[in-house]
Structure 1
Amino acid sequence: MQNKKINTIIFDLGAVLIDWNPRHLYRKIFSSEEEMENFLRDVCTSDWNETQDEGRTLAEGTELLVNSFPHHEENIRAYYGRWDEMLGGEIEGTKNILHRLKESGQYKLYALTNWSDETFPIAWAMYPSLHWFDGIVVSGKEKMRKPAHAFFQLLLDRYNADAHTSLFIDDNLRNVLAAREFGIDTILFESPEQLKTALENRSIII
């Protein structure tokens, strides 16, 4: 806990508020879980996807993999060609928490997300809850991403927020540890129920 009262809450989006998961798509493509997991581990990896999140174009990232794994060309092109099928909707429990925080009027609400600037507008058009934030910082637009301290600093500077009165919520331990090192209070997201309890323990919601 911080000594100062929390007045700013910063959310991650994917797997916290928005159910984004490439498995939603690739379960339609592969005949077995093992085959799918091997593909996501060895071909369309999380590190590869995060490079697009950091600003590399989808076309460049796709062609790089097609050249390296030509026998997987169709499946690689599906990653962004059918990207909207990776979206499973808003995570209702988190959406309800965000709505309560918004309605309270007590907190500035921001999102700090590792997300391609080319795909984020699709989610923005689909999900009303994204419009409840006072500001969203998208890694693909800024050409930097979590866990870089500079990315946290960018949000704080842009919205005149103080690290010591901010709370950051993310499902990725790497990002949570980086925020903690930066002096921001953190919650490692596991489920909406666990998040609600953590916020209640901080007397942020009652």
Structure 2
Amino acid sequence: MDTPVTNVVFDMGGVLMNFDGPYFSAQFTDTPEDAAALNAALFGSPLWTLLDSGTISHETMARYARAHLPERLHPNLADCIAHWPEHSAPLEATNELAIRLKREGYGLYLLSNASTRIMEQLNHMPAMSYLDGYLVSGMERLMKPDPAIYELLCRRYYLDPATCLFVDDNADNCEGARVAGMRAFHFTGDVAVLEAEIRALR
């Protein structure tokens, strides 16, 4: 029989918090065309992944984005860079599930591909104060789906990977967790199905 799951490891963006570059960009521009340009230069840029990996600085990201936008949009870019985390809204149903699981005795962890500014999002995530630990790619210079980042989470918090269920909206990240010895659930938005899976593995 499989080892019971006693720890749930959540991704952040798309699972516990909203991450939507086009939406964020629209909050700082006046037309759909300007929003699309801002998103392409910032959130949709290939460099955004490097920012999340800790490979480049926020200053480098900003310089790149400015170079790919007309000068008239530079103030919009500056406002967006400063304030977009305020528009990253909690996904209430998954936060409620996470809090409920913690109260029932599950270990609760977060593993996110995100930059070093992640606390600007986590500070308004309801489940934050219930977490037993978290690991962030930009701080560790490791990224999902590399099995090494899941292994690091387990070492840091003394977890047996066999007791962990990893939850992510990216199927490749789920596969990385499985390689590291965890079980994984590809989250597509149905919290009831997720909860049923967790209950079935207890």
Measured against the shorter chain, the TM-score band is 0.7 to 0.9
Structure 1 residue 129, shift from structure 2 partner: 1.6
How far 1:175 sits from its partner (Å)?
A: 1.0
For 1:12 and 1:126, the matched residues in 2 are separated by 16
Q: TM-score, normalised by structure 2?
A: 0.84
Find the counterpart in structure 1 of residue 88 from structure 2. Answer: 87
- Residue 66 of structure 2 aligns with an amino acid whose one-letter code is V
For 1:164, which of 146, 162, 165 is the aligned residue?
162
Alignment of 1:3-18 (within 5 A): 3-18=2-17
- In the alignment, structure 1 segments of 5+ residues that lack a partner are none
Give 1:102's aligned residue. 102
TM-score by length of 1: 0.83
* Aligned CA distance change for structure 1 residues 180 and 79 (closer, same or farther; 3 Å): farther
The SS at the match of 2:110 is strand
Secondary structure of 1:111's partner?
Answer: strand
1:141 aligns with 2:139: yes
Q: Residue 201 and residue 20 in structure 1: after superposition, are their counterparts in 2 closer, same or farther (change >3 A)?
A: closer
Q: In the alignment, which residue of structure 2 is the partner of 1:111?
A: 110
Matched, 1:48 2:44: no
Aligned to 1:126: 124
Relative to structure 1, is the Cα distance of residues 110 and 182 closer, same or farther in structure 2, using a 3 angstrom cutoff? same
Count of residues in correspondence between the two structures: 198
Runs of 4+ with >6 A deviation: none
Deviations 1:50-83 (A, max 9, x none): 2111122211211133235455544543441232
Higher mean alpha-carbon deviation, 91-100 vs 65-74, is at: 65-74
Q: Which runs of 5+ in 2 are unaligned?
A: none
Call closer, same or farther: CA 1:147–1:74 in 2, change over 3 Å.
farther
